[in-house]
Structure 1
Amino acid sequence: MVAALLGARSAVEGAATLPEGLVAAVGGGGDTDTVAAIAGALLGGRFGGAAVPERWRREVHGWPGLGGEDLVALAGRIVSGR
């Protein structure tokens, strides 16, 4: 976990933009999903959510055939047992 935190810190400190930092976090190797998750949180705090490119938001905000609103409705059905 310490290595992931150090990798994220390195990616964040050297980044001029949020995408640059996330690409650096993944490119550093190792436990890339953990490093990118930590770096993403730090970069979001540094640059704000609006710094996430629209194309990226479209890709991760949903599931094939389901958008964000569909996923919220699905979560509600799961929680209520429907």
Structure 2
Amino acid sequence: MPTITRDLLVDDVMRRWPAAIRVFLDFGFLCVGCPIGCFHTIDDACREHHSDPEAFMAALLKTAPQAAAEANPA
């Protein structure tokens, strides 16, 4: 099963795991619809938004199993 890593592009994460969009919004990232999202990695976004990448990744990884289940219902 694929997982979210810090080197993935923001746009790819939001497309692959739509539930992760809530995490971006909760952390105050205005990445949804941003044209830079297809160029910035998660690390880039954390740096730009002055956010702790470890805390952000922990929140994203909590959503990944839920998002994968939503994309592939049994």
Q: Please, what TM-score do these two structures have when normalized by structure 2?
A: 0.29
| Structure with the bigger percentage of helix | 1
- Relative contact order higher in (CA < 8 Å, ≥ 6 apart): 2
- Larger radius of gyration between Structure 1 and Structure 2: 1
